[in-house]
Structure 1
Amino acid sequence: MTSPLARAIDHGQQPNFDSLRLFFACVVVFFHSFLLTRVADPYAAKILAINPGGLAVDGFFLISGYLITQSWLADPSAKRFLARRVLRLYPGFIVASLFSVFVVGPLGADAHAYFAGLDVRRFLRGLVLLHMPETPPVFAGTTAQLVNGSMWTISFEFRCYLLALLCGLAGLFSQRYLLLALTVAIGIAVGGYVPPAGVAHPQHVLFGINALRVSDSIAWFAALFMVGSCYARFRDRIGFGPVRAMLACAMFVASMFDPVLLRPAVLLVGAYALFAAASAPAWWKSRKTDRRADLSYGIYLYGWPIQKLLTWYVPGIGPWMIFASTLLASAGFAFLSWRWIEKPALKLKPATRLAFPRPCNGPIAE
């Protein structure tokens, strides 16, 4: 029997990926609201193995693996694939970087000293490589003295796109059991790693605190991405019953208290729960992706700089107030980014030349 997720896509309907990504972006803003105000996160304080922001980033990579694989399957052309990936990530990233460096930066420091110490060549190189902006000292005396600490994951996202390109060119996406075997191998390699004591999650300590274990980060993100790819390739074989989804959620929640179980649980039951949510009929029925603004990328890009400015100019602001204020402000920036930057860039994407005689991949959200 065909799964609900496969039936949704086969009938040209977009599952709940956009809604889930928007939710994850809001969770990242929520986590940073406590991090940047030095207030203990009431949820992360109880879930010792990981923080909400870390889980949200993991969810982004799982969904990305699914959608990017679907994109390759719809049109397996390296040139067109890379063009779509560049047009999706770079325009929004470049504008948000310019805003962070040339507007937020001088507002969080002495403007004259800031611009005198700004290395423009390094900044431009960072734009090309999708690196988090490096600037002279800003927001002195505050937590995470960065103009945009959320941007560190974007380069890893693009690296996973390149991984998908390699898998596509190597024929792994057409040999799904070989893809599954490779994913299992990667999952075993990184799933058994237990973060050192005192570190919530190795790939999330780069949120402005300590740059630690970058090589482990790309391996972990690659594992998440590949799991998403497997769900895309086996979507016709995976069913999402409510009982199984609830059981997966329960098992995943239990694992969040144990750092030994956490990573395997994210790759197994966490991924299943996520794609079960993506296939829920009540979410995607009668919705058309092209009629809605996709705000998740913009909220993710603009949330951090807005939060830093709030904590800098409104001393003593509480985490809940900064969370609500940032959501409103970043949603506005995200809408402008979507309307005037991201959407026009996506219109430049090369037309898809379907690799199948029927629209079995539906609309591609990436």
Structure 2
Amino acid sequence: MALTNQLAMNEVTNAADHRNNLTALRWFAACLVLYGHAFVFLGLPEPLFLQWVPMGQLGVYIFFAISGYLVAQSWQRDPSVPRFLAKRALRIFPGLLVCTLLSVLVLGPLLTTLDMATYWRNEHTLGYFTNLALYITYHLPGVFAQNKLPHAVNGSLWSLPVEFFMYLLLALLGLCAAWFQKTNSDDQTIQEPSKFSQGLTAMATVCLMGLTALWAWPSTDAWVFYRTDLRQIPLCGVYFMVGASLFQFKLNKYFSLSNVVLAVVLWLCLSREPQVFAMASWVVLPFVVLAFGLGCHTWLSRWHARDYSYGIYIYAFPVQQTWVSFWPQMPLWAYLLCTFVTTVALAALSWHFVERPSLKFKPFR
């Protein structure tokens, strides 16, 4: 199949029936996070993508861009807040629950430097379960105390409350749009039901861009609420909202090879101005990611039945910390191989026995 056909997406329904490259692209994003973290755990400088962001952060941005598009699509199909949130919760919490249980009941007892009685009596052991309320706790008593990144059991969980906040924001925008359309149904100035929704999405996107440029970037101190650095909401949320905007404004018609090449070339031309380059990434990265992801490559599109990306994301951090705690001087290539194989095995078990069975309970109208 020609590359232009792989990138093109003529029907929005492509994203729904999974005949696209999105699952493979989520795999790629999860593996970028694993790859970037490997350097940190071994005490090496993490490589930057185009001298812009660390590889792990790039993977997170890709996740948010894809999520914004698909979640906006999900809301449009079924604009019910209870069903919308139930679908999102069923995607996040079953896998997180099992990962948390394994961390507390298996990983902790095996690797803690404390005796078992002290470990179980420690308030932080039970406190680790606050992760299930997205009130993120990163350490278990005595676990990974001697690692180069000490005490951190699962640092990747920081993005989950940010992601869920974006779900709530999108639902709020949808409710506001629905209310406006209902109260102005007789207003002849409204040409299309979706215009106000598009306007709200665009406004939210521009606001997040402004918050990123004027607050999140210049700020050197974390603004923590509910154990989440609030700066991450605009930093990651801007990619989510641009992804949502690409769906809302039906810009998939511009997903072609020529437009992708043009966007990337223009983006690279801005590389000498780091701040402008980063700002351009807000639009270029989601555009390129979704243009490729919503295309259909014969081999890549077959990955939809094995969506291990979430499992890779939530298991990679503790797996990598475990390997490096036993072999801190392991060569990078061997470390990447061992952690990748172990993580994918756990992610496969999570997908086939926890995540996919849970998705069968998704409510439909």
Name the TM tier (shorter chain): 0.7 to 0.9
Percent of matched pairs sharing the same residue = 32
In structure 2, what is the equivalent of residue 185 of structure 1? 207
Residue-by-residue CA offset, 1:21-74 (whole Å, 9 max, x unaligned): 110000100011111001233x32x74431111111011111111111111111
SS for the counterpart of 1:7 is coil
* 1:334-345 paired onto structure 2 within 5 Å: 334-345=347-358
- Secondary structure of the 1:119 match is helix
- Distance across 1 between alignment mates of 2:39 and 2:269: 24
Taking the aligned partners of 1:182 and 1:6, their CA distance within structure 2 comes to 27
Alignment of 1:8-87 (within 5 A): 9=13, 12-41=17-46, 43-44=47-48, 47-87=50-90
Distance 2:62 2:90 in 1: 22
Cα distance in structure 2, aligned partners of 1:51 and 1:102: 32
**Contact 2:100/2:129 (CA < 8 Å) preserved in 1?**
no
Tell me the residue number matched to 1:138.
143
How has the CA–CA distance of structure 1 residues 193 and 284 changed in structure 2, closer, same or farther, with 3 Å as cutoff?
Answer: farther
Q: Is the 8 A contact 2:8 2:257 kept in 1?
A: no
Q: Secondary structure at the match of 2:254?
A: coil
Residue 214 in structure 1 maps to residue 218 in structure 2 = no
Q: Secondary structure at the residue paired with 2:349?
A: helix
Shift of 1:13: 4.8
Unaligned ranges ≥5, structure 2? 1-6, 179-192
Which of the numbers 247, 250, 265 marks the counterpart of 2:280? 265
Letter in 1 for 2:362: K
Instruction: From 159, 168, 193, give the equivalent of 1:162.
Output: 168
Of 258, 265, 272, which residue of structure 2 is paired with 1:250? 265
TM-score (norm 1): 0.82
Question: Contact 2:127 / 2:137 at 8 angstroms: preserved in 1?
Answer: no
> For each residue in 1:157-195, what CA deviation from the matched residue of structure 2 results, as whole angstroms up to 9, or x when unmatched?
111111111111111793213322331232233145574
Say if 1:230 and 1:119 are closer, same or farther in 2 by CA, change over 3 A.
same
Residue 298, structure 1, aligned to residue 282, structure 2: no
What per-residue deviation string (whole Å, max 9, x for no partner) do you get for residues 295-344 of structure 1?
Answer: 00001111111111111112311222111111111111011101111011
Q: Which has the larger radius of gyration?
A: 2
2:109 matches 1:94? no
Residue 302 and residue 254 in structure 1: after superposition, are their counterparts in 2 closer, same or farther (change >3 A)? farther
1:224: Cα distance to partner? 1.8
Q: Does 1:223 align with 2:238?
A: yes
How far apart are residue 100 of structure 1 and its match? Answer: 2.0
Q: Relative to 1, partners in 2 of residues 1:57 and 1:252: Cα closer, same or farther, differing over 3 Å?
A: farther
Give the secondary-structure state (helix, strand or coil) at the position aligned to 1:244: helix
SS in structure 1 opposite 2:112?
coil
CA distance in 2, matches of 1:84, 1:37: 37
Deviation digits for residues 190-247 of structure 1 (CA, Å, limit 9, x no counterpart):
14557469x9xx99xx9xxxxx991211122222211111011122564122222123
**Residue 171, structure 1, aligned to residue 184, structure 2:** no
Give the Cα–Cα distance (whole angstroms) in 2 for the partners of residues 143 and 162 of structure 1: 36
* Equivalence for 1:148: 154
Partners of 1:138 and 1:109 in 2: CA distance: 4
CA RMSD of aligned residues (A): 3.0
Q: Report the structure, 1 or 2, having the larger helix content.
A: 2
* Structure 1 Cα separation of the partners of residues 257 and 217 of structure 2: 33
Given that residues 66 and 228 in structure 1 are in contact (C-alpha distance below 8 angstroms), is that contact kept between their aligned partners in structure 2? yes
Shift of 1:260: 1.1
Q: Which letter does structure 2 place at the counterpart of 1:350? A: P
Instruction: Return 249-258 or 321-330, whichever deviates more.
Output: 249-258
Question: How far apart in 2 are the matches of 1:75 and 1:284?
Answer: 31
Q: Is the 8 A contact 1:252 1:266 kept in 2?
A: yes
Higher deviation after alignment, 330-339 or 105-114: 105-114
Measured in 1, the distance between the counterparts of 2:177 and 2:256 equals 31
Provide the aligned length of Structure 1 versus Structure 2. Answer: 337
The farther-off stretch of 246-255 and 78-87 is 246-255
Residues of 2 paired with 1:334 and 1:283: CA distance?
24
Matched to 2:110, the amino acid is L
- Which deviates more from structure 2 when the two are superposed, residues 224-233 or residues 253-262? 253-262
- 1:281/1:191 CA distance change after superposition, 3 Å: farther
